Amino acid sequence: MKLSRGDRVFMAFNYAFLILVLLIVAYPLIYILSSSFSSPRAVVAGRVWLWPVEFSLRGYEAVFKNAQVGTGYWNSIIYTVVGTAINVVMTILAAWPLSRKDLYGRNWLMGFFTFTMLFSGGLIATYLVVQGLGMVDKRAAMVIPNALSIWNMIVCRTYFQTTIPDELVEAAELDGCSDIRTIWHVVLPLSTPIIAVISLFYAVGHWNSYFQALIYLTSADLYPLQIVLRNILVLHQFDATMIMDVEEIMMREGMKDLLQYSLIVVASAPVLALYPFAQKYFVRGIMIGSLKG
């Protein structure tokens, strides 16, 4: 198809715009990656622009030796795995019955769930409830108060309604399958894609959040990675248990600065490494969600 001159000009601008966007997004990420692999001296002197200068793994060494980071990582893994498991179970338990058209009172029940998206008791009231349940400063506070996301539940329900054929469910019922057994034998095997999608949404949510930990946790050994990151990257507090002279050496060599870059990479690496593979699930999840919303 022959393009007119006006169209060719437009396409040129379009590509130029997209390349510009690509650079604006990619450059900071490359800069961080390069800085993290550079030597402390180079970072402090500001010699890093695009590629690592004086390639060194000292930054990563410091990160992996840091005890706080280790505890934080471990805690985050626990919260993410346990939390996501609870989330998926809760979501399916809510989404399946609500997807059944012959569930009596379905509209009322659905309203009961969606009203919570419009109005809530607020931070203070929720905190008092969690406190009253004795969950403050316990691991439970990281996985139970946020056990269900109504948004994800709606995505799941939409999937059930559009993908699991009513005929199949009816056939199972005719064969004498009870509702609960239907879930186990019919729904779950057919739900692998949606379970993958909502697991990803929930897991990323758990891994990246710090608010829950900020308000409910006070013991340092329970802190997830994001709180540790906050202490180091934002509050610039370093591990008090580090030996004093090591601190001095670090400061003299600008290790603190380098540490920040390496820490950023280490903290984001799991999510960013998995994300290209999981990307199509995210896109699918958003599209399913947007069909309903």
- Out of 29, 171, 220, 251, the residue judged to bind other proteins by CB under 8 A: 29
- Out of 2, 24, 192, 243, the residue judged to bind other proteins by CB under 8 A: 24
Q: Is 202 in the site for other proteins (CB under 8 A)?
A: no
Site for other proteins in 37-76 (CB under 8 A): 43-44, 46
**Tokens matching residue 77:** 């893994």
Q: Is 229 in the site for other proteins (CB under 8 A)?
A: yes
- Out of 53, 183, 203, 250, the residue judged to bind other proteins by CB under 8 A: 183
Q: Is 286 in the site for other proteins (CB under 8 A)?
A: yes
Determine the interface stretch with other proteins among 21-29, 59-67, 188-196, 242-250 (rule: CB under 8 A): 21-29
DSSP state of 222: G
Q: Is 246 in the site for other proteins (CB under 8 A)?
A: no
Helix extents (H) in the chain: 5-36, 40-45, 58-65, 67-99, 106-118, 122-132, 140-143, 150-163, 166-174, 179-182, 188-190, 192-208, 211-216, 225-229, 244-252, 255-292
Among 130, 132, 125, 160, residue whose Cα is nearest residue 143:
130
Q: Is 230 in the site for other proteins (CB under 8 A)?
A: yes
Q: Is 85 in the site for other proteins (CB under 8 A)?
A: no
Site for other proteins in 130-169 (CB under 8 A): 130, 133, 144-145, 147-148, 153
CB of 130 to other proteins, least distance (A): 8
DSSP state of 187: I
Euclidean distance between CA atoms 21 and 26, whole angstroms: 8
Helix extents (H) in 164-216: 166-174, 179-182, 188-190, 192-208, 211-216
